[in-house]
Amino acid sequence: MKILVVGAGKVGATLAEHLTNEHHDVVVIDSNDEVLHRCEDMYDVKCVYGNGANAQTLLDADVDRTDILIAATAGDEVNMLCCLIGKRLGAKYAIARIRDPKYNESLTLLQHELGIDLAVNPERATALEISKLLRFPFASNIESFAKGLVEMVEFRVQQHDVLADCRLRDLSTRLPGLPRVLYAAVERNGSVVIPMGDFMIRAGDRVFVAGDQLTITNFFRYLGRNIHSVKNVMILGGGRISYYLARMISHLGMKVSIIEINPEKAARLSEDLPQVNVLLGDGTSQELLDQEGLQQMDAFITLSDRDEENLMTGLYAASQGVPKVIVKNNRVNYADVISRMGLDTIISPRHITSAYILRYVRARINRHGTKVEKLYRLLDGKAEALEFLARAEDPYIGIPLKDLTMRPNSLVAVIVRRGKVIVPFGNDTIESEDSVVIITCESGLSDLNEVIRK
C-alpha cells in the first residue's frame, strides 16, 4: 500500500519504521530538514519537505495516489486540516492524531465533517492501558480480546512458583488443581518462543497466558500472587496521560496524588480534577516522595517527559517496597535492561499508538479476507497477538486443528464461539463467526488464511 505519514516525530518515525518493515511504500512529510534526513538514512522512505496542511506539499507527496494518510504532527488542528485537504485531493483513508481533551466531546462530529476515518489519542490510549494494569496489579501486561471475554496476561515466573522447572505437558498431572490456561508465548534471555508440550518453564521467564477472565483470575490465585486491589496511587508528572488516567481511576474509587513541578500545570490540574490531590513540587526528590507517603502507596506511576527521570524514580519506588511500579519509557530497545533492574511494567505511548494504527492499516490491506480485528505487540514487539473473525467461506472451517497446516512460529491461542471461550487442542475446529486469537513471532500478517492452511 502507498502510505503518507505527515510528521516525523516519535510516533511518525516509529510508524515509518514498522510500515517499511511490512513492505509498504511510505512517504514522509515534515518541515524539519534534520528530522527528514534522519528518516531517509534510517528507513526506506521517500521524504518531502514542507507543511503537511499545504495542498501543494501534499500533491508533491502524491496524496492523490495515497491509500492511507496518517497525520501525526504535534498540532491537532494541523492534523485535522491535513486530513480534510488530503481526502479532498484523493487519499482513500485518513488517520489523525488528536490529543487535546477539549476535542473529546465533539470528536465524532469532527471525524464526520473532516473526513477522518480514525482518530487516535496516544495519551488517552496509554492511560487506558495503565488503568487495566492497576485493576490487575499482579500482571506486567494485559491485553483483552473478543469484547473482553478473553484476557492475555504477562507475568514473570518466580523461583518459588509451582510452574518453575515443569514441562507444560506435565502440568495437569503434577498440578491437577491448576486452572487450564494457554501458555501463549515465553521470553527467555531476549529470545521469544511459542512453547510446545515439551517446553520447560524456568524462573525468570516472561510468560503470556490466555483464557477467560475467571480462569485467569483463578490461575494467579493458585500461584499465590497478590491480587489485592489498588487503593492509593501516586503519579509523577502532570501531563495529558496523567490527566486522563486520574479521571479514569478516581471513578474506580482509587485515591490519586499527582506531583507536578510546573506551577501553571499544577494549578490547571487542581482546577480540572477536584477529586485528585495535586502536589506542587519536584517528583524526583526522594525527600518529597517520602514526605508524601510513597511507602504507603499501592502503585507509583512515572509519567514525566524525561525517560531518565521516570527510570530513576521508578527504581526508587520499587526499592521502597511499592507493590506496583509502572514506568513510561519510549526507548523500547532498553526494555530488557530495565526489566533486569526489577521494573517489569514499561509503558510506551508511541508503541501503543503505532500498534493501534497498524491494526487499522492491516485491516485496510485485507478488505476482502479474514481481516485483523485487534492487534497487540507483545514482549517488546518480539511477538504479536492478532484477533480475526472467521468467515464461512474460508477453507479451514470445520477441520480439526491437528489436520491443518500452521504457519511456523504461530499458534491458535483461543477460540471464542457464541460467548464461550475455548482453549483449543488438536481435535477442536474453527467455525464461521468464531473470534480466533493467533500468537505469532512474525510481523505483517493481515489475514487468518496466511496463518492456517488446509
Q: Tell me, what CATH number does 12's domain have?
A: 3.40.50.720
Distances (CA, A) of 356 to 4, 132, 219, 244, 449: 17, 17, 29, 18, 22
State the CATH number of the domain containing residue 377: 3.30.70.1450
Cα three-residue angle 87-90-96, rounded to 5 degrees: 30
152 inside domain: no
| CB neighbour class for 177 (10 Å; exposed up to 12, middle 13-18, buried from 19) | exposed
Task: Indicate if 296 and 399 belong to the same structural domain.
Answer: no
Show which of 67, 97, 120 is a domain's final residue. 120
Task: Indicate if 317 and 406 belong to the same structural domain.
Answer: no
What is the number of structural domains in the chain?
3
35 inside domain: yes
CA dist 15 and 355 (Å) reads 9
What are the grid coordinates assigned to 150, written together?
A: 478473553
Residue 54: phi and psi, rounded to 5, are -95, 130
C-alpha torsion sign, points 147, 431, 178, 345:
negative
Q: Provide the b/e sequence for 74-109 (b: ≥16 CB within 10 Å).
A: ebbebbbbbbbbbbeeebebbbbbbbeeebeeeeee
219 inside domain: no
Report pLDDT for 369: 56
What are the grid coordinates assigned to 357, written together?
A: 494504527
169 inside domain: no
Which DSSP state fits 229? Answer: P
Query: 3-state class of 191 per DSSP?
Result: strand
CB 100 within 8 A of CB 76: yes
Task: Indicate if 32 and 116 belong to the same structural domain.
Answer: yes
Task: Indicate if 367 and 270 belong to the same structural domain.
Answer: no
C-alpha torsion sign, points 19, 22, 24, 27:
positive
Range of the domain at 372: 359-453
Mean pLDDT by 10 residues, the chain (454 residues): 93 90 92 90 92 95 96 94 96 93 86 92 91 84 82 89 91 90 90 91 92 88 80 95 94 93 95 94 94 95 93 94 91 69 83 85 66 76 86 91 90 90 90 91 82 84
Encoded amino acid at 274, one letter: P
Report pLDDT for 140: 81
Please count the CA atoms within 13 angstroms of the CA of 292 that sit on its side-chain side.
24
Task: Indicate if 378 and 318 belong to the same structural domain.
Answer: no
70 inside domain: yes
Distances (CA, A) of 307 to 283, 303, 447: 14, 9, 36
Q: Which helix (H) or strand (E) holds 198?
A: none
Report pLDDT for 217: 85
298 inside domain: yes
Show which of 269, 302, 322 is a domain's final residue. 322
Global pTM reads: 0.76
145 inside domain: no
Report pLDDT for 327: 94
CB 65 within 8 A of CB 1: no
Show which of 120, 140, 167 is a domain's final residue. 120
CB 186 within 8 A of CB 116: no
150 inside domain: no
